[in-house]
């Protein structure tokens, strides 16, 4: 769709897919105020007209779907079903011999049809709505599954007896996941992803995980012994290894999800007498400062400073120290720890320059550093008003898994990985809680960095409210550090000349 009326712009996408791409010949920031006002008014008008026309197309498509569906007959036999080794469950066949799979909306109204030819070629009815469309295979009402294709859905149903919702493609999994969650509140849900390992970006896996994260569902991904035929989904798994293996892998995913959930606590879990029989060992610290315990093992910590003071450089120095062990300035690490630094702001070349300056070309075996600037999005996002973990949080977990056992993770800076509203405490708390779940799950430390608010930066003070945005950033961390300039008074007190060559690192009083 293209608009050429003084402000050339448009959008494009693929029929049957969910995602579209918008473009404009002239960026909004390059326009004058008058051009921007006119452009935005025009876009609003065009969008309203587009939405009206689209609603008409969808209504017409739905009517055509009902007419075509009513004229079709029950399926007796079909080459596609034989090829996929699955039954027809509620399908029909048109006069041209194509299978018809109904596409329902949230209210169970027919909104479109998927047509499947004998050779497996699939086409959706032109003009029919796809977003949020699903097909339903009735099974155990207490065990709900979401997947992409019809054959995959039937394979899962035949192997497990589960109720299955078919979303037709990866981009539609998130919209139907929300519908399924509303239809089955409190019910166990598994998203059975296609493992599109032969396609760049693996959309089946990533979109499936995104949908599961959004509704708190479990994820099952098919794993194949033989990949010579480039298999991707649970129908391929059934054909190659049989329904018992499909059932085993899905049950394994279910059991893993259930084992990760905290059951209700009983008096036996909470009673102290009989459990606490001796004094616990002292807390373990991974770093000390001037001989005093400084950074406790297994916590989330936050480094806050004004821009330009060198918080990234300091984090790289601390990472180098932790990876090799020993002393650096007033800090000491008792033993080498496997350390990973992910830089979301500086590119790899800039990160490497800093590393070379710090290490002078000598780097410990345990140090791992990579720039992810421009490569991933925020770890969190909003689902309506609720902060939830994004697909990039899953990416981070996978990265940690690949580096196991990992002792310390540095994330720089928080602002590039946050994705929520900075001044809302509930958002900040959700973000820190997400990081805490990683420290608990992997027994490691995480340190991230954040900008100071203007008052803290100007006054060179490290206090509870020093971080920009919500106080929940510091409230949620067990260690918060403030990197500030040396004031004239501090320079006098410490006997320092040339104070601009020094910085001050304060520990926030709130988290002593």
φ and ψ of 458, to 5 deg: -70, -40
Residues 59 and 73 in one domain: no
Using the 3D structure, point to which of 259, 293, 314 is the last residue of a domain.
Answer: 259
In the chain, the N- to C-terminal Cα span, in Å, equals 59
Describe the crossing of helices 391-402 and 425-442 by its angle, rounded to 10 degrees: 20
Residues 417 and 322 in one domain: yes
Using the 3D structure, point to which of 64, 89, 116 is the last residue of a domain.
Answer: 64
Residues 110 and 197 in one domain: yes
Does residue 269 fall inside a structural domain? no
- The pLDDT of residue 157 is 97
As a whole number of Å, the CA-based R_g of the chain is 28
In this structure, are residues 483 and 303 in contact, taking their beta carbons and an 8 Å threshold? yes
Does residue 279 fall inside a structural domain? no
**Token pair recorded at residue 230:** 């480039």
Residues 33 and 74 in one domain: no
Q: What is the CB-side half-sphere exposure of residue 40 using CA atoms within 13 A?
A: 8
- The pLDDT of residue 391 is 87
Does residue 477 fall inside a structural domain? yes
Total domains, the chain: 3
Residues 215 and 322 in one domain: no
**Token pair recorded at residue 382:** 């909003």
- The pLDDT of residue 10 is 55
Residues 96 and 159 in one domain: yes
Residues 179 and 299 in one domain: no
- The pLDDT of residue 222 is 93
φ and ψ of 272, to 5 deg: -80, -45
Which residues span the domain enclosing 493?
A: 285-511
Whole-number Å distance between alpha carbons of 222 and 233: 6
φ and ψ of 405, to 5 deg: -80, 125
In this structure, are residues 505 and 295 in contact, taking their beta carbons and an 8 Å threshold? no
- The pLDDT of residue 259 is 58
In this structure, are residues 434 and 388 in contact, taking their beta carbons and an 8 Å threshold? no
Residues 389 and 417 in one domain: yes
Residues 117 and 188 in one domain: yes
Residues 306 and 386 in one domain: yes
- The pLDDT of residue 24 is 58
Does residue 189 fall inside a structural domain? yes
φ and ψ of 359, to 5 deg: -95, -10
Per-residue pLDDT of the chain (512 residues; tens, 9 = 90+): 444 555 555 555 554 444 455 555 556 566 677 777 777 777 777 778 878 888 889 899 899 999 999 999 999 889 999 999 999 999 999 999 999 999 999 999 999 999 999 999 999 998 889 989 999 999 999 999 999 999 999 999 999 999 999 999 999 999 999 999 989 988 889 999 999 988 888 899 989 989 988 888 889 999 999 999 999 999 999 999 999 999 999 988 877 666 556 567 778 778 888 878 889 889 999 999 988 999 999 999 999 988 778 889 999 999 999 999 999 989 999 999 999 999 999 999 999 999 999 999 999 999 999 999 999 999 999 888 888 888 899 899 989 988 989 999 999 999 999 999 988 989 999 999 999 999 988 999 999 999 887 654 444 444 556 778 878 888 888 888 888 888 888 888 878 887 777 788 877 644 44
pTM of the model: 0.54
Burial class of residue 195, CB neighbours in 10 A (0-12, 13-18, 19+): buried
- The pLDDT of residue 462 is 47
Angle 241-243-246 from CA coordinates, rounded to 5°: 80
Does residue 266 fall inside a structural domain? no
Residues 372 and 236 in one domain: no
Residues 428 and 500 in one domain: yes
* Pairing relationship of beta strands 300-305 and 445-451 according to DSSP bridges: parallel
Using the 3D structure, point to which of 259, 293, 311 is the last residue of a domain.
Answer: 259
Comparing CA positions, the residue from 142, 121, 146 lying closest to residue 133 is 146
Does residue 271 fall inside a structural domain? no
Does residue 267 fall inside a structural domain? no
- The pLDDT of residue 465 is 61
In this structure, are residues 17 and 129 in contact, taking their beta carbons and an 8 Å threshold? no
């Amino acid at each position: 769709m293209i608009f050429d009326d003084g402000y050339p712009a448009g959008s494009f996408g693929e029929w049957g897919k969910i995602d579209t791409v918008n473009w404009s010949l002239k960026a909004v920031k390059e326009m004058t105020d008058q051009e921007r006002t006119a452009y935005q008014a025009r876009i609003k008008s065009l969008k309203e007209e587009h939405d009206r026309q689209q609603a008409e197309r969808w209504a017409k498509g739905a009517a055509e779907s009902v007419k075509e569906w009513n004229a079709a007959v029950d399926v007796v036999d079909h080459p596609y079903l034989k090829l996929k080794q699955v039954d027809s469950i509620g399908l029909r066949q048109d006069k041209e011999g194509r299978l018809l799979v109904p596409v329902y909306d949230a209210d169970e109204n027919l909104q479109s049809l998927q047509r499947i030819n004998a050779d497996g070629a699939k086409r959706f009815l032109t003009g029919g709505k796809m977003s949020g469309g699903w097909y339903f295979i009735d099974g155990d009402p207490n065990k709900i599954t979401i997947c992409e294709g019809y054959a995959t859905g039937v394979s899962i149903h035949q192997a497990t007896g589960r109720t299955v919702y078919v979303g037709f493609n990866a981009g539609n999994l998130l919209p139907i996941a929300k519908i399924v969650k509303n239809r089955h509140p409190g019910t166990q849900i598994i998203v059975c992803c296609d493992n599109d390992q032969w396609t760049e970006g693996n959309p089946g896996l990533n979109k499936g995980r995104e949908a599961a994260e959004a509704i708190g569902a479990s994820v099952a991904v098919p794993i194949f012994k033989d990949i010579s035929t480039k298999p991707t989904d649970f129908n391929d798994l059934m054909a190659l290894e049989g329904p018992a293996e499909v059932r085993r892998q899905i049950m394994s995913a279910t059991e893993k999800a259930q084992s990760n959930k905290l059951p209700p606590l009983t008096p036996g879990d909470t009673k102290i007498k009989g459990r606490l029989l001796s004094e616990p060992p002292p807390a373990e610290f991974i770093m000390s400062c001037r001989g005093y315990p400084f950074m406790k093992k297994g916590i989330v910590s936050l480094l806050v400073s004004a821009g330009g003071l060198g918080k990234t450089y300091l984090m790289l120095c601390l990472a180098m120290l932790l990876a090799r062990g020993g002393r650096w300035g007033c800090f000491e690490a008792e033993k080498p720890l496997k350390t990973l630094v992910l830089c979301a702001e500086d590119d790899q070349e800039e990160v490497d320059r800093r590393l070379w300056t710090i290490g002078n070309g000598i780097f410990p075996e345990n140090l791992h550093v990579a720039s992810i600037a421009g490569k991933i999005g925020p770890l969190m996002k909003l689902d309506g008003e609720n902060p939830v973990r994004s697909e990039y949080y899953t990416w981070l977990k996978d990265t940690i898994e690949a580096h196991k056992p990992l002792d310390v993770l540095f994330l720089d800076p928080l602002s590039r990985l946050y994705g929520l509203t900075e001044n809302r405490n509930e958002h900040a708390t959700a973000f820190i809680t997400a990081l805490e779940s990683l420290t608990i799950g992997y027994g490691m430390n995480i340190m991230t960095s954040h900008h100071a608010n203007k008052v803290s930066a100007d006054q060179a003070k490290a206090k509870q409210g020093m971080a920009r945005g919500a106080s929940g950033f510091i409230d949620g961390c067990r260690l918060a550090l403030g990197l500030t300039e040396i004031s004239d008074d501090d320079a006098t007190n410490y006997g320092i000349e040339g104070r601009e060559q020094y910085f001050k690192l304060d520990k926030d009083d709130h988290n002593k």
